[in-house]
Structure 1
């Protein structure tokens, strides 16, 4: 079976491209030209790019490769969540709402929010990849 965007949309807690675009726009708007926020965003983008490399290859790997790389993938996913949290915390300290972070959700509230956060990280890497042409 070949997956499509429609396959993704049918999954629990998925985000549409339009929703991800809105969240991304909210982040960019709140960061403005703040050098510390931009540095945190850069760290987030680096981590998202590392994470998408794991996720994009998941279906291509053998069971043995998945077993071998699963702990690294999980650690990278954890790091991605931390980077989102750091950026949101900083923006809140600067007086912004960072409502985008609540929209992504927290895994303590629903385990699927972990996947949702990963999805959005992949979106950031996707946008960066398209813009790097």
Structure 2
């Protein structure tokens, strides 16, 4: 995942009229990005304890991406971003972190 790909996908999601699903996806991205930072700042013992919650946050973000794409398809919106995002868990997790960054910058 690089900046260009992340912003392209984020823009595609941002164009959707499906506000509730979009906000859910953004919140799940922020939740997972926060967990990733906490993971980086934690000791090995703390990481072991937080691993199930981190995995759950990652799974929940992936599910939110899938749900957003399905709903966009149902509404006849372009959901090609989901294929571009791919299935690689690390890439999807990286995208959550990029979304967190983008949301933070937009909020200024």
Query: Are residues 130 and 92 of structure 1, via their aligned partners in 2, closer, same or farther at CA, if it must alter by over 3 Å?
Result: same
Structure 1, unaligned runs of 5 or more: 1-14, 107-112
Compare CA radii of gyration and give the structure with the larger one.
1
CA RMSD, 1 decimal = 1.1
**Secondary structure in 2 aligned to 1:95?**
coil
> Which of 65, 84, 87 is 1:84 aligned to?
65
**Secondary structure in 1 aligned to 2:52?**
helix
Shift of 1:16: 1.4
Shift of 1:132: 2.5
Q: Is 1:56 matched up with 2:37?
A: yes
Shift of 1:28: 2.0
2:2 paired residue number:
16
Shift of 1:124: 1.1
Q: Is 1:27 matched up with 2:13?
A: yes
2:76 paired residue number:
95
- The structure that is helix-richer by fraction is 2
2:106 paired residue number:
131
Structure 2, unaligned runs of 5 or more: none
TM-score, normalising length: structure 1: 0.76
Contact 2:14 2:22 in 1 (8 A): no
Contact 2:31 2:57 in 1 (8 A): yes
The number of residue pairs the alignment matches comes to 108
